[in-house]
Chain A
């Protein structure tokens, strides 16, 4: 009789790239062609056939943005609490633990200093894989610290957003993160700091209605869903068909809400260009 060895946290390995289905080949949801996964991944997670931008996690995002090996992670010791003892069909505490095991992250964000084409910057990336990238206290605090750090060090600030909105499980406290991050950006602005907001698929709710829309420059990846209310809620309210491409990046650019729609391939060079033009 042998007993199974006691499991420890260090042995728990997160599932690899949980958001993307496993397999060597996959079908592109836009052009419906079969594409070789490696090729898609090597192409910055963009479909080589039709330029469909696949959703990516914060780790991949940072890797793509940074000059190799320059990213230094910061503020990574924050962990969500459960201030309200929130329980719906599943308790928030359990939800957090299972999301942490799934992603290997403490919450839906990565922040740190990096270099982009040789230009130093502060970056924060939301992570869609962790509870739909929703903003609770940890995300709000990390973003705020990133902003304050950028202000103090006089660094250009880049925030890559992708989120379902404010995290319901922290209720009023999530809501307050919107005010907190916006107030920090006001100080960054007062100090003359540059803030480049990058919107990716999807950016909605309380994240759009706070820091994501406050960029000195706002750029969006092609065909990303960006909005305040979700399309389903709008449809239920106005009871009519929504126009083609509604709430997509190109729609927002035409509405005058986004400065540029930039392909993922050009993101690094575009950001570097903005830093050259507007940074200090």
Chain B
């Protein structure tokens, strides 16, 4: 575990981790020949301490720290979850028009025992894959691939599960030329009237339109330590604070209300999916179990609705979002007490 990527707020755990590693490396022989004058703390008590400290640290993460957890390189990604859920995942490639974008994975698979179409952003696990996936930033062909496969699912009444994990849609020359904005817009419009149940889960980063392009759904959830917002904290800091640094990023992350708790309060998401203690990167298997349980539960729930009701509810779900005030139309009533300008001069 020496190469384990560590976030700076996890530093206090270092000593304990080392002690646990030492205690674990002791063999039975060591225990017999050990000098008992200097007793080492037992493994159980060390683990207990470790757990308590982890709980303390993760109990009060700032929004910016949450963003760091959401970007942890060890955090499970779409392909990790797919491998954990399905034994028979059948990937479908390409948008039948331009190409196959590896930043969006689509295919059929069973979650629990339910047949689904799974769609998700994939960031890439090693350097080569990361570059091919543009770090999870999809191109228009990726969004068009997603839509094409969603229409396929609609035709055969297969529910759709989308896993959102992107810093944003790719900002590049080709992406603009091929209509990045149009691809995202069409996806939102079509998803709003797709005649099959749709679930969306933000598993890591939910960056703006790039995320929403596959996240118009009947139920939207977020993993506990993910973020979802109109812009990344760095982008926001660069624009509104004129510079992005550690300090302004922190302020922007705070101001943007981007954590799962904030989004739940605003009604943007319906549920938060708990993660194992210390984040999904500490226990990917545990995280995928929790995610799978939520997906199965929610899909069963949605099955009960007739399809027309489902689409109406989906429309109303997004229709009511927004915060504005209504001003009464001002009718000017001339006051009798105040003298007219003519009279006063």
Contact = CB atoms under 8 A, between A and B. Distances in A.
Interface string B186-223: 10111011000000000000001100110010000000
Interface string A104-145: 001000000000000000000000000000000110110010
Interface string A45-89: 000000000000000000000000000000001111101101111
A121 B193 CA distance: 25
B92 interface: no
Contacts of A246: 173, 176
B182 interface: yes
Interface string B174-186: 0111111110111
A249 B242 CA distance: 29
Interface in B209-247: 209, 212-213, 216, 228-231, 236, 239-242
A144, A168, A170, A176 pick with most chain B CB within 10 angstroms: A176
A209 B209 contact: yes
A233 interface: yes
A246 B171 CA distance: 13
Contacts of A137: 322-324
Most buried by A among B176, B239, B257, B315: B176
A255 B236 CA distance: 30
B185 A79 contact: no
A228 B185 CA distance: 11
Interface residues of A, number: 64
A64 B186 CA distance: 30
Nearest to B185: A213
Given A178-B209, A186-B190, A213-B185, A80 B179 contact: no
Given A10-B332, A141-B324, A173-B323, A229 B176 contact: yes
A81 B323 contact: yes
A86 B230 CA distance: 14
A228 B176 CA distance: 7
Interface in A185-229: 185-187, 189-190, 205-206, 208-214, 227-229
B7 interface: no
Contacts of A174: 230
A103 interface: no
Contacts of B180: 209, 228-229
Interface stretch (A29-37, A152-160, A234-242): A234-242
Most buried by B among A87, A144, A173, A189: A173
B239 A206 contact: no
A6 B126 CA distance: 67
26 contacts: A80-B324, A84-B256, A88-B240, A88-B252, A89-B242, A138-B324, A141-B324, A166-B209, A166-B230, A167-B230, A168-B240, A170-B230, A172-B258, A178-B209, A179-B321, A182-B189, A183-B315, A183-B318, A187-B315, A208-B181, A210-B185, A227-B176, A228-B181, A229-B175, A229-B180, A237-B171
Given A228-B180, A257-B182, 7 more contacts: A79-B325, A84-B256, A88-B236, A88-B252, A171-B256, A176-B318, A227-B176
